[in-house]
Amino acid sequence: MFNICANCSQEQSNDLKFCTSCGTLLKSCCPECGNELKEEWEYCGSCGHKMGS
Ligand SMILES: [Zn+2]
Ligand SMILES: [Zn+2]
């Protein structure tokens, strides 16, 4: 599985959090439970923690 960097469109390994080409954040984790978050989520799907803006 790969993530596509939104900034430079390079394929990045799914286990990376930051693009290795440009340093853009590829994905984020919930600060409360560490669950992997999708960018469009406003609340964590695992623990319901509200994401900061
Ligand atoms: Zn990039
Ligand atoms: Zn959470």
Model pLDDT for residues 21-51, shown as the tens digit of each residue? 999 888 778 889 988 888 788 999 999 999 8
Give the model's pLDDT for residue 4: 87
Mean pLDDT, residues 5-19: 89
Mode of pairing for the β-strands spanning 28-29 and 11-13: unpaired
On whether the CB atoms of residues 28 and 45 are closer than 8 A, the answer is no
Give the model's pLDDT for residue 2: 85
Ligand 2 is an ion; residues with CB less than 5 A from it: 30, 32-33, 35, 44, 46-47, 49
> Is residue 53 scored above 70 in pLDDT?
no
Distance 39 CA to ligand 2 centre (A): 14
- Distance (Å) of CA 39 to CA 15, 50, 52: 16, 13, 12
User: With helix as H, strand as E and coil as C, how does 3-38 read?
Assistant: EECCCCCCEEECCCCECCCCCCECCEECCCCCCEEC
Give the model's pLDDT for residue 12: 92
